[in-house]
Amino acid sequence: MRPPPTRYKVVERGRRLEVIDTWSGAVATPPMAETRERRGRTDRAPAPAPSRPAATAPADSRDTLFTTQPWYDDKAPRAIRESYANKARVQKFTQIAAFAVAVTLGLSVVLWPWVPLLLVPLFFADESRRRLRAAATRWIDTLDQAVPPSAG
């Protein structure tokens, strides 16, 4: 499988490197003279751009694993950053949840009238939903890279 094409490409023009945004076709970095004028520094080169986006918001929607919803997270909405550890934990949780749903469906076939009646208080009682949502919030808090979603 090949990775998707990159959004930016670097091109040399007039002995200068320029970053081109391939989605819009525009130059992503302003010429150095404009940068110096904006910053008020004409005697030295501008400071290099930070290599990572700020920790308060993901730089791109591809940078997040998922955004939480208020029905299962008390601190929602917040975006969880993608990392190998977070991806593995979410995938493991998804597999466990799928197995639990499969076992519940299997038991409901065998014990037809009783299993649905036992599950109704679990999902419709306010106290049970509050406890399940609090447990989900604590688990999401352990994904220590939670950040607020970007405004744009």
Asked if residue 72 and residue 37 are part of one domain, the reply reads no
Residue 140, pLDDT above cutoff 60: yes
Q: At 61, is the pLDDT very low, low, confident or very high (cuts 50, 70, 90)? A: very low
Asked if residue 87 and residue 17 are part of one domain, the reply reads no
57 CB contacts (<8 Å, ≥6 apart)?
A: 79, 147, 148, 149, 150, 151
Q: Are 8 and 16 in contact (CB under 8 A)?
A: no
Residue 40, pLDDT above cutoff 70: no
Asked if residue 150 and residue 123 are part of one domain, the reply reads yes
Range 3-30 average pLDDT: 82
Q: At 57, is the pLDDT very low, low, confident or very high (cuts 50, 70, 90)? A: very low
Q: Are 36 and 30 in contact (CB under 8 A)?
A: no
Asked if residue 45 and residue 59 are part of one domain, the reply reads no
Asked if residue 144 and residue 71 are part of one domain, the reply reads yes
Residue 147, pLDDT above cutoff 70: no
Sheet order of strands, 146-147 included: 64-67, 79-81, 146-147
Asked if residue 101 and residue 69 are part of one domain, the reply reads yes
Asked if residue 78 and residue 152 are part of one domain, the reply reads yes
Domain that holds residue 32: 1-49
Name the nearest CA neighbour of 77 among 86, 63, 67.
Answer: 67
Between 107 and 64, whose confidence is greater? 107
What is the residue type of 140?
Answer: I
Asked if residue 80 and residue 44 are part of one domain, the reply reads no
Between 61 and 82, whose confidence is greater? 82
Range 52-73 average pLDDT: 63
Q: Domain total for the chain?
A: 2
Asked if residue 71 and residue 7 are part of one domain, the reply reads no
Name the nearest CA neighbour of 75 among 67, 65, 86.
Answer: 67
Asked if residue 13 and residue 69 are part of one domain, the reply reads no
Read off the pTM.
Answer: 0.46
Q: What is the structure's pLDDT at 152?
A: 47
What is the spatial distance between Cα 80 and Cα 136, in angstroms, rounded to a whole number?
14
What is the residue type of 13?
Answer: R
Percent of the chain at pLDDT above 70?
70
Question: Tokens 């009783």 correspond to what residue?
Answer: 114
CA-angle at 31, arms to 35 and 46, nearest 5°: 35
Asked if residue 68 and residue 40 are part of one domain, the reply reads no
What is the spatial distance between Cα 80 and Cα 67, in angstroms, rounded to a whole number?
6
Asked if residue 81 and residue 18 are part of one domain, the reply reads no
